[in-house]
Amino acid sequence: MPTALISSRSFGEISPIGRTILEQAGLEVRRVGAEHRPLDPVKLERIMADEQPDVLIAGAEPIPREVLAASPNLRVVQKHGVGVDNIDLDAATELGIAVGNAPGTNTDAVADLTVGFMLALLRSVVPAAVSTQSGGWERFIGHELGQLTVGVVGTGRIGRSVIQRLSGFGTRVIAFDVYKDVQAAKTLAFRYVEFEDLLRESDIVTLHIPLMPETENLISAQQLCWMKPTALLINIARGELVDEQALAECIRVGGIAGAGVDVFATEPPQSSPLLKLKHVIATPHIGAYTVEAMDAMARSCAETVVAVLNGQCPANVLNPSVLRTGTGTEDGS
């Protein structure tokens, strides 16, 4: 009986559908125990060697070559999420292991939280609630989202969904992306600008791009200097997109007004300087944490795994060559 090892924290915890699909397809489902967390590559490599699973359903933990090679049976690594920057895709391809993700399953959830951060920061919802609950009656003055300019960095599924939501407020939207979606710009009535111009013009900057070598520390001290002192930064994409030390210092000295942060370079982020700032809303990577998104994501992951094991090549497999040839090499040898 093939086995699926679950290293993702959330797969099967919120929605049972993914586990049900796997078990109905004849897989034995095992989960990394709580005693092994937080996971690191050394721990996971040892677990993979002991369990020797056919399938790994991964979360945000690093999946380097050593982890992939530890199980001689491994055929599929399925990300319970969208971004696969934590998985060594090149190594997986060389080892003949298919890597899949679950695109589109968390789009609405992340877009909703993005706009929620904007509104909470603009209206000082968190400090107002804390003040009232502690017996105070401090009435914070805020701003209206519809009167501001929002700069959206990245106009993929989530970026476009954020823009759609902002249209209901009448917000002026500008955007930056290396790959411009001209039709979306026309349909959703936003304008592409250069990155520096976006940072200088925007009252709110929100990031919706993948983590790659060229996007690491995309927002650092220099870029923060371009932003308005009244501006806000929202990051619900990847923690490494932003230099946390530079952002914390910028907020501390009034370089920008605040930030909404759902992701951190190290998670959990006990030592992040952002956690100590009153003008920062920090949440524990909950962008995709809705019942609806978790259900859709679990279903997508399980269906992808079953399809690959049955010899199919789903569109969300990121290295389809391994399924066409049976290995990462062109000739299948």
Residue 117 Cα to chain centre, angstroms: 15
Paired tokens of 68: 């992939």
Cβ proximity of 140 and 127 under 8 Å? yes
Active-site residue list: 238, 267, 285
The torsion angles phi and psi of 86, rounded to 5 degrees, stand at -90, -5
The amino acid sitting at 102 is A
Q: Where are the alpha helices (DSSP H) in the chain?
A: 17-24, 41-51, 65-69, 89-94, 107-122, 125-133, 157-167, 182-188, 195-201, 221-226, 244-252, 291-309, 321-325
The DSSP-derived string for 77-101 is: EEESSS--TTB-HHHHHHTT-EEE-
**Cα-Cα-Cα-Cα dihedral sign, residues 189, 175, 115, 289:** positive
Distance in angstroms (rounded) separating the CA atoms of residues 88 and 203: 37
Residues β-bridged to residue 216: none
Identify any residues that bridge with 203 across adjacent strands, giving them in sequence order: none
